[in-house]
A and B are shown apart, each in its own frame.
Chain A
Amino acid sequence: MPDKPDRNAIEVVNVSKIFGSGEGQVAALDKVSVSIRENEFFTLLGPSGCGKTTLLRLIAGFDFPTAGEILLYGQDIAPLPPFKRPVNTVFQSYALFPHMTVADNIGFGLEMLGKPKAEIRARVAEMLKLVKMEALAGRRTGQISGGQQQRVALARALAPQPKVLLLDEPLSALDYKLRKEMQIELKRLQHETGITFIFVTHDQEEALTMSDRIAVMSSGKILQVGSPWDIYDKPADRFVADFIGETNFLTAAISGIGNGKARATLKSGTTIEATVAEGFQPKDEATVVVRPEHAKLTKDKGDLSGRVENIVYFGTDTHIHVHLDSGEAFTVRQQNTRTAGCGFERGDKVGIMIGDDAAQVLRD
């Protein structure tokens, strides 16, 4: 697959979707704009009700935007019915046709496109192989397991070679182990087919592990778009920082802003260097975030000081909750070893060292 990183498969331009009318109006999407590149695994991430599924439905054509444009390779598809869009969907409930066999399900899209029988047969065989379901081609969809149904749903949506594949929380019905397996499987399929995937999920871990880029959504707006690394390490605002992973929020006085960096003076009096979120409006006081694994606990004086409040063992690591002298709370994550305990006890007076390049100033 040749890389064409600059081409956009989908461009969402100022799209709003308003449900209801008059007093009961609800904006499910509020002037959302986002570009999704060709061949990328793009994830819409957010809590339920944030508008991610609505956006997916607008791209699929199951609903139409109140305002704005949806461009597919430059062509506005927003007014087209779903059967006229070269876009296919993997549904949360899979929505396999119960009166057809696995093979007939996979071939349905091609049949509707009027492809010759021989071509359909060949393509179905190819798809069955791709999702490793050759042995079950003749089964009814009610006679296969949830994981297998998932594979059939994927094969059915991929068979007509759509320009964009939409996936609406497709892994949410699977148990933990199967979900892990399918995450890897989906990445493989995206890589092998070279089709642009737009994946909707509320599971931040799923989003981080699978995506090339993530858009974090809340209340009908996109808050931040970026690589998993960007989203995790350089969250733009409080919602993103809080929704993805665990983090510590500290109030700091900001000075010397420039070049995407600033000096943050914490309540303890220590000044550290921090990166600054895009769109930050200069102000005297702001929130600084530090991930628990980017800080170290010491028995000496650190950047912050406080008292150990609680220690929680997680197997791979230990979370140490510290009550800072400033009154704020701070959690440090410490990698475990087999030999020693974490080295601290509840009530210990401790210092916290914040790592270099560990702090990010939020825009709100």
Chain B
Amino acid sequence: MASNFSIKHQPGFTAIAATCFVVLYLPIIVLVIYAFNAASSTSEWGGFSLKWFQSAYQNTQVIDATLRSFQIGAIAAVLSTIFATMAALATTRTASYPGLTFKYAAINQPLMVPEIVTGVALLIFFSRIKIFTGYSGIGYLVAAHTAFCIPFAYLPIRARLENMDLTLERAAADLYATPWKTFRRITLPLLWPGILAGLMLAFVISLDDVVITEFVKSGGQDTLPTYMLGQIRRGITPEINAISTAFLLLSVAIVTLFFFVSRKRD
């Protein structure tokens, strides 16, 4: 027996690990397989076909919801990343003071408050504004998504800032760089991988959101996830599988892209 404890050598470890992976991935694999089903069932195999992908592609509601998801996601990701960058700079480029921990908590609030609570709160709050202003566009969705994406963008940016050598900024100031030039030429380029990570994470989180979107959206403002939810209520066809599969591929693509971009930058 090795003198130090190793979880890997405990009885049942392999079995538990294997079970976890199966539970995690088997349903997804089944979902992907049935996206290629020629029959209109999600449980009986009727041969290989791409017809559900084609049908999804020709479904204007799907395309419409997808585009709206991308639009909201892109705007919310950019906005939340800008806010998160500012918040990260303000909370790391300072000596610790009483109340700083509270600010971390306030910034990360959306991670802790149940989404359903935020959803209901926003529904009530925005309905008032709608009455006052008469505006009912996707601005509300963008605002809501921006708000809950901020902590996701904030975390990688703050991690990057905390690992950055403060002496570098001092050295720039010593070499006649004004605070703004120091930020532009030193801090921002070194922070870039963190910002990109934050941006992609925020985009994916926005793309995926159901609960808050469901409460905030007005009629005809379905995003892809809320559209899918609506479809499932009326009975599932492999078209949902096809959409999910495409969605999955997109997420994997974004995460992979991010991985390579951030690795190259380091």
Contact = CB atoms under 8 A, between A and B. Distances in A.
A112 B177 contact: yes
Interface string B168-182: 101111111110010
Contacts of A98: 168, 190
A82 B182 CA distance: 12
A113 interface: yes
B171 to A, nearest CB: 4
A83 B173 contact: yes
A60 B190 contact: no
A196 interface: no
Given A83-B178, A112-B181, A95 B173 contact: no
B168 A97 contact: yes
Interface string B15-48: 0000000000000000000000000000000000
Given A62-B170, A95-B170, A112-B181, A88 B165 contact: no
Nearest to A168: B167
A134 to B, nearest CB: 21
Contacts of A88: 174-175
Contact of A109 (B165, B168, B175): B175
Contact of A91 (B167, B177, B181, B186): B167
A99 interface: yes
A108 B171 CA distance: 10
A96 B171 CA distance: 8
A108 B172 CA distance: 8
A97 B172 CA distance: 9
Interface in B88-107: none
Nearest to A104: B185
Interface residues of B, number: 17
A83 B174 contact: yes
Sorting the interface of chain A by its residue count into under 10, 10 to 19, 20 to 34 or 35 or more gives 20 to 34
Interface in A49-103: 60-62, 81-83, 87-89, 91, 93, 95-99
A99 B172 contact: no
A60 B185 CA distance: 21
A235 interface: no
B173 A82 contact: yes
Chain B CB count within 10 A is highest, among A60, A93, A112, A157, for A112
Contacts of B176: 83, 109, 112-113, 160
Interface in B125-184: 165, 167-168, 170-178, 181
A99 B185 CA distance: 10
A82 B186 contact: no
Nearest to B177: A112
Contacts of B175: 83, 88, 108-109, 112, 156-157, 160
B95 to A, nearest CB: 11
Given A88-B175, A93-B167, A160-B176, A99 B181 contact: no
Interface of A: 60-62, 81-83, 87-89, 91, 93, 95-99, 108-109, 112-113, 156-157, 160
Closest 3 pairs (CB-CB, A-B): A109-B175, A95-B171, A112-B176
10 contacts: A61-B174, A82-B170, A83-B176, A88-B174, A89-B171, A89-B174, A91-B171, A99-B189, A160-B175, A160-B176
Interface of B: 165, 167-168, 170-178, 181, 185-186, 189-190
Given A97-B168, A97-B172, A156-B175, 10 more contacts: A81-B173, A82-B170, A82-B173, A82-B174, A87-B174, A88-B174, A88-B175, A95-B167, A95-B168, A112-B175
